[in-house]
Amino acid sequence: MHAHAPAVSAARARRWGAFYYAEQVLRVMKGYGWTIIMYGVGQPVAYLFAMGVGLATLVEANGAPGFGGVSYLVFIAPALLVSAAVMTGASEFTFPVMDGFKWRRVYYGPHASPLTPQQIAAGQIIAVTVRFVLQSALFFAVIALFGASPGGWGAVSIVVATLAGLSFGLPLMAYAASITDDKGQFAMVMRFVVTPLFLFSGTFFPLDTLPPAVRWIGWISPIWHGTQLGRVFTYGYQEPPLLTAAHLVFLLALSAAGWTLTRRQFARRMGP
């Protein structure tokens, strides 16, 4: 076999550059692949035992409000699936982005080739999306083994979790790409954004049972919108069709806005 001529290689890079960079990111992820697998399996098992089995015993024994005619385990399973994807997005779209621009500057090597900043950004997103799908599929398999997805469309929640992860992660990626100095911004995001979203997004109890002072957090939370969609598919949660459509539109709009801002920020940081 012989190498392609430089002009041919450059043309291919300009056409398929996003996938080339995605391959590089996936090869890096392969180095901690067992961590991803254990996160996708170990976390749901631990959460489902702790919340869906342990806490459920207390909740149901004390006559807590109904959960749409399903067990507490079935109720919280979609929320845990979506939350795991969002938390992964918070990790994958923050520190690796800072690493690409500042710490090891790994974006600038590919940028010296025909790859554009937008292709590098797209490649990173493609690779993380692959992780979302793999992790969510493993998570859902555990949920199904626990009998927490009685509906026939439960597997669609894998797509829902992936979309929720992107809807939170892409705006965060744009923010990470704008940071020039690490002053603890990501720790603040984890503490004051991710954690409240996890706690106040109807994860453990229906959103309308929370105090009005914090209920608004759920309304703007990708976790709540993704969780409600997941509940529709995993056990046939009943809600107005327009509200189901609104959940989907909200997640898609956030993802599209995050993607647009990320492309602009990568181009601004690295030039044309």
Q: What is the mean pLDDT of residues 129-151?
A: 91
Residue-by-residue DSSP string for 208-247: GGS-HHHHHHHHT-HHHHHHHHHHHHHH-----HHHHHHH
Under the banding of pLDDT at 50, 70 and 90, the label for residue 34 is confident
The per-residue pLDDT for 4 is 60
Under the banding of pLDDT at 50, 70 and 90, the label for residue 151 is confident
Q: Inform me whether the pLDDT recorded for 1 exceeds 70.
A: no
Distances (CA, A) of 71 to 47, 57, 61, 67, 143: 15, 10, 12, 7, 13
- Left if phi > 0, otherwise alpha if psi is -120 to 50, otherwise beta: which for 114? alpha
Tokens in use for 24? Answer: 């590089």
State the average pLDDT for the chain.
Answer: 88
Report the amino acid identity of residue 230: G
- For 220-236, the pLDDT digits (tens) are 999 999 999 999 999 99
Q: What is the mean pLDDT of residues 144-163?
A: 93
Nearest to 225 by CA among 165, 164, 172, 148: 164
2 alpha-carbon distance from chain centroid: 41
Q: Inform me whether the pLDDT recorded for 9 exceeds 60.
A: no
Q: Inform me whether the pLDDT recorded for 63 exceeds 60.
A: no
The per-residue pLDDT for 15 is 74
Q: Is the pTM of this model over 0.95?
A: no
The per-residue pLDDT for 64 is 53
Q: How many residues does the chain have?
A: 272
Per cent of the chain over pLDDT 70 is 89
Give the max Cα distance, the chain.
72
Under the banding of pLDDT at 50, 70 and 90, the label for residue 84 is very high
- For 183-213, the pLDDT digits (tens) are 899 999 999 999 999 989 998 888 988 888 8
Least confident of 58-62, 104-108, 175-179, 217-221: 58-62
Distances (CA, A) of 261 to 118, 137, 257, 265: 11, 29, 6, 6
Domain ranges of the chain: 13-270
The per-residue pLDDT for 100 is 94
